[in-house]
Chains A and B, each alone.
Chain A
Amino acid sequence: MITLTHYLVASALLFSIGLIGIMTRRNVLMILLCIEIMFNAANLAFVAYARAWGDQAGQVLVFFIITVAAAEVTVGLAIAILLSRQLNTLNADEVSALKW
């Protein structure tokens, strides 16, 4: 029997994988990609709860999340392009001017 717990564990796993990706990848675009993974994990959790509680608000929220993620990716990629133009690098380690 597949219960809510299964879906939630899957979501948690996906989320952690995204998190690991954020902390280990050095390319800025790859970091953005891993953020997308985390979004998707959240979406899964929402839909699972929506099914479990019979409340479709979860699915509506997923709709919004997808929309906002699209917008955010747009701007994020624009910034990444700017970054590559200004600093000639997309290495996250080198984008550290605001340090001690």
Chain B
Amino acid sequence: MVTPPPGLEAAPQGAWLSWTILFAPLAAGAAILLTGLNRRRFASTLAIAGLLASFGCTLRLFALALKRPDLLPIQTAVSWINLPGFTIQFGVLIDQLSLLMALVVTGVGSAIFIYSTAYMHDDEGYSRFFGVLSLFAFAMLTIVLATNWVQLFMGWELVGFSSYLLIGHWYAKPAAADAGKKAFMVNRVADFGFLLGILALWAASGIGGAERTFDFLALEHRLTDPAHAAELPLAALPLIGLLIFCGPMGKSAQFPLHVWLPDAMEGPTPVSALIHAATMVAAGVYLLCRAFWLFEGLPQVLTAIMWVGGITACFAACLALVENDLKRILAYSTLSQLGYMVMAVGLGGAVAGMYHLTTHAFFKALLFLGAGSVIHGTHEQDIRKLGGLWRSMRWTSATFLVGALALCGFPGLSGFFSKDEILVLAHENNARLYWLGTVTAGMTAFYAARLWFTAFTGKPHGHAGHGHSGSQHAHESPPAMVIPLVVLAALAIAAGYIGIPHFLAEMPQFHGEEPGTLHWDVAATSLAAVASGLGLAWLVYQQRAVSARQLVNALAVPHTLLERRFYIDEMYAWVVANVQQRMIAGFCAWFERVIIIGLAVNGIAWLTAGIGRTLRLAQTGKVQTYVLAFLLGIVWLLAAASRQ
């Protein structure tokens, strides 16, 4: 069923554009994985071409949306499964929300793809990398452009799978393989609740006598239709909402399912940038906004969401304070910012959440790519072994500084505006969360500045004669890596001024929010927090006015707790080993061994053999026994015959 937009003279190929966005990366990925595993240039060129094609089509549709916003939403779908009472479609839904997200995915993705050609240049699995990256792009776009829950879930699982493949790209490294497995399994736990929620929603959607459906637009219409408000299963909806929220909890790594994201840093840095900073982990937030019409009327669920987000934000920021690995600091930072986004949605500000998602995609991808550049140039990831990089890697350092400032929420940069929106929401709705957010902002500033001062300023720490590791031998990265950094830095600066929230607010379901107005009291408080964080870091790490070691000794217990990440990984490991493996898996193994195999399978065999063993005793070989049997038969026959 193709619904061409009415009165659309400018772009009659609306449907073609939609399908191209979705399938160009898939075609590229399939071609690479099936035929091009030995052809490196072919692989990377095809992958970049595929994603750029998607980007181009998205831009085209975006231009259309700017010109004629009344035409949205445009839904192009084909019927996939068609059973009586159960229909699922596969298609593309174009509205402001999906366009924005698609722009982020394809745009930032293209930059990262180009960056990877230089970063992964010496890697053996070069072609495989691009093939799986293209596959990931397709899966991510399936989530973004999905028209119904089933298609979204399909893309959801596919990104999880691609993430598994990409985290474990260097599969020979045990840490990488384990990290991939961990990511997949934690997400599997979350997706179980998610799937239950989807099915429950479907089951409850038969309102007004219509057939039950998975379709977003149809569900939104039904659930918000006042005519049938009486038929809504009001008692079940909060539970459905919570179950569906399980999905974002896993995918966006909210507490307590956050444990997979730091370990996912085992994958190559472009993967960390694309998947675990800009796009995949943001899919959870995207889902919450896509289904905002469901959560809007469920205040308890929103409360749960905002507290989970707030706790995640603060918790992750605390953990980032004591990390020494470059990528791990950024990973915890991502966790923290994701917490902000989820908190925003929980506070009722879906537009604010998406705004922060977009700016975060820019500056976090920038930070990760910059980190990749540092790793590429120094082969070192521990910030204590780096230093003075701004002398030897000018472009990287400059862009990294822009990203770090955006992360802190430095005034004028994009991060400031988006974080401000969220803090305003918190200020208006929940005082405790507002203070939590502000304190977290301060901590964010502290660890970002710590990172900058330790790794980029000061004296280089490399070991002379230790090969090419360390910052003494650092060199700037090739242009293919630097140019995407510059582009992303530009976006990180400019994204606050291009009116993203206004664009989003045109969507009918987001009409209630009024973005873009500056609240001076909130801004002042957050700036104070940021300044104190920056100042403290400057004092400790740059001026050495306060010794870091003394601080650590003074706060020994909290420091240990943070270093051990609150022992959460150990707790999970204990639960898995004892509850899951010993009790559940052990019971299942016993059940299979004793009852299924022993009793049912072997038992039937034993029974048959036993019956056979018993029956064969009738063959005595003696004629007289047979005569007796014969006689008994005749007696029985005669008795039966003479019964009349």
Contacts and interface: CB of A to CB of B under 8 A. Distances in A.
Interface in A1-58: 19, 22-23, 31
A31 B628 CA distance: 13
A97 B619 CA distance: 10
A99 B621 CA distance: 4
A87 to B, nearest CB: 13
Contact of B624 (A23, A98, A99, A100): A23
A60 interface: no
Nearest to B628: A23
A92 B631 contact: no
**B interface majority secondary structure:** helix
A95 B622 contact: yes
Contacts of B616: 100
Given A22-B624, A23-B624, A100 B619 contact: yes
Interface in A75-100: 92-93, 95-100
A33 to B, nearest CB: 14
B621 A98 contact: yes
A6 B627 CA distance: 27
A96 B622 contact: yes
B517 interface: no
Contacts of B624: 22-23, 31, 92
A92 B621 contact: no
Given A19-B631, A23-B628, A92 B623 contact: yes
A22 B627 contact: yes
B620 interface: yes
A95 B621 CA distance: 7
Nearest to A94: B622
A93 B620 CA distance: 9
Nearest to B631: A19
A24 to B, nearest CB: 8
A97 B621 contact: yes
A21 to B, nearest CB: 11
A93 B617 CA distance: 15
A8 to B, nearest CB: 14
Interface in B590-644: 616-617, 619-624, 627-628, 631
Contacts of B631: 19, 23
A35 B75 CA distance: 95
B513 to A, nearest CB: 88
A4 to B, nearest CB: 18
A100 B627 contact: no
Contacts of A93: 622
A93 B622 CA distance: 6
Contacts of B628: 23
Nearest to B623: A92
Contacts of B622: 92-93, 95-96, 99
B587 to A, nearest CB: 43
Contacts of A22: 624, 627
A97 B628 CA distance: 19
A66 to B, nearest CB: 23
Contacts of A31: 623-624
A99 B623 contact: no
A23 B627 CA distance: 7
Nearest to A99: B621
Interface centre among B616, B619, B623, B628 (most CB of A within 10 A): B623
Interface in B239-275: none
B627 A96 contact: no
Contact of B619 (A23, A95, A99): A99
A67 B109 CA distance: 107
Contacts of B623: 31, 92, 95
Contacts of B621: 95-100
Nearest to A28: B623
Nearest to B616: A100
A99 B616 CA distance: 9
Nearest to B617: A100
Contacts of A19: 627, 631
A72 to B, nearest CB: 15
Contacts of A98: 619, 621
A22 B624 CA distance: 7
B101 to A, nearest CB: 77
Nearest to A24: B624
Nearest to B624: A23
A52 to B, nearest CB: 20
Contacts of A100: 616-617, 619-621
Contacts of A99: 619-622
Contacts of A23: 624, 627-628, 631
Closest 3 CB pairs of A and B: A99-B621, A96-B621, A100-B616
25 contacts: A19-B627, A19-B631, A22-B624, A23-B624, A23-B628, A23-B631, A31-B624, A92-B622, A92-B623, A93-B622, A95-B621, A95-B623, A96-B620, A96-B622, A97-B621, A98-B621, A99-B619, A99-B620, A99-B621, A99-B622, A100-B616, A100-B617, A100-B619, A100-B620, A100-B621
Given A19-B631, A23-B628, 20 more contacts: A22-B624, A22-B627, A23-B624, A31-B623, A92-B622, A92-B623, A92-B624, A95-B621, A95-B623, A96-B620, A96-B621, A96-B622, A98-B619, A98-B621, A99-B620, A99-B621, A99-B622, A100-B616, A100-B617, A100-B621
Interface of B: 616-617, 619-624, 627-628, 631
